Structure 1
């Protein structure tokens, strides 16, 4: 076997291994970074409010219990989600929500963060209507998501608001475009459309997620 052929095979196997391992490694790194971030913060908070609860190490710093912070935060989030479904708690949450949304200074930050998370999950999801939108020229189309269909507040009667995500990023751009320059995507789910857009079009559309 000739050396150039061996080198070509070596590069091919290397790229195949990289394609397999890179997503796994990035996912593990992200989860581990979040895990360590929470675990590093919790001992300091507990040590501040209750210095004797965890004790201290040889350097005088609060002792760390690996995994405690991650488990605790996960349980708190699940617990809040569970009890928020009850009538009394839901009313208290609504009251607290209204107070924060009317508090000067806090209102902008709170409402922006709240709307951002509700856009992806919950009963008020905004990214559930995927479309093809033509913005710069009629022959080029981009994947987007209709977030508002009524823009009379902006004096636009025949326009819709379309959010266009950017590939390999958590950012995107908002456009006001005429409704006739938007085509509703009906063959695949919104989740698959988002994944396809963010991946730059290299991901595979799952058959099970195609709309009937």
Structure 2
């Protein structure tokens, strides 16, 4: 071997094989990320919620009834269990005459406080409306033209527009509906719109599927009428993205192999 000799250059077949290997590695990594990331975030958010509830409830638990007093480690979720039991017990007590009397007496005290009264009434009305109509509220998804003709937006259909708003808008006998227009990627914020029921295109997808569509900015679209799955989008087998040129390079190298 002489000094200064250039190292042998890789053949076209080796370059194509190396590109395929890197492509498969990237696709397998992304597939693992798609599986691991939602699982990790779900566990992280759930754990954070449990710890947050425990931080609020545990200080009110007497030491004699706290498992932390008798165990050398902290029991996660004990505060959450206590909160669920207390809320259930409160609902049981207010279902009888004595509980309703005590509740009425407590509400009468709040009615004498100007600022607290308005806050309590507003929150109570919201919870009563949401929980009493949970079987029918936000169970239907639709499309409306927004913000102008020709542009469509996903909405969650609440109920028929009632009260003064419904009375003043229902001038021609065309019923109005209240819809919630979510924003992307945070569907918890959005706009309350009152539209004519005839202008709403109702969809068959569920609220969960519509929420995924909104959160993913249209990347995750629910199937409709047995749509066939795109084989190139399947994460189990990484697609060949070398193109016709890469395949031709590999074929030429194989054909010219001595």
| TM-score relative to the length of structure 1 | 0.69
The residue number in structure 2 matching 1:161 is 178
| Stretches (4+) displaced over 6 A | none
Change beyond 3 A, Cα 1:20–1:194 = same
Match of 1:123 among 132, 136, 141: 132
Q: Provide the aligned C-alpha RMSD in A.
A: 3.9
Worse-superposed segment, 13-22 or 125-134? 125-134
Whole-Å Cα distance in 1 between the matches of residues 83 and 224 of structure 2?
32
Gaps of 5+ in 1: 58-62, 208-212
Secondary structure of the residue that 2:114 maps to in structure 1?
coil
| TM-score relative to the length of structure 2 | 0.58
Q: Tell me which structure has the larger Cα radius of gyration.
A: 2
Change beyond 3 A, Cα 1:84–1:200 = farther
Secondary structure of the residue that 1:73 maps to in structure 2?
helix
The residue number in structure 2 matching 1:8 is 23
Aligned residues: 196
| Greater relative contact order structure (CA < 8 Å, 6+ sep) | 2
The residue number in structure 2 matching 1:17 is 32
The residue number in structure 2 matching 1:75 is 85
The residue number in structure 2 matching 1:142 is 153
The aligned runs of 1:190-209 (5 Å cut-off) are: 190-201=207-218, 202=220, 204=222
**C-alpha contact (below 8 Å) 1:129/1:146 kept by paired residues:** yes
After TM superposition, give the deviation of residue 80 of structure 1 in Å: 4.3
Change beyond 3 A, Cα 1:86–1:44 = closer
Whole-Å Cα distance in 1 between the matches of residues 223 and 208 of structure 2?
10
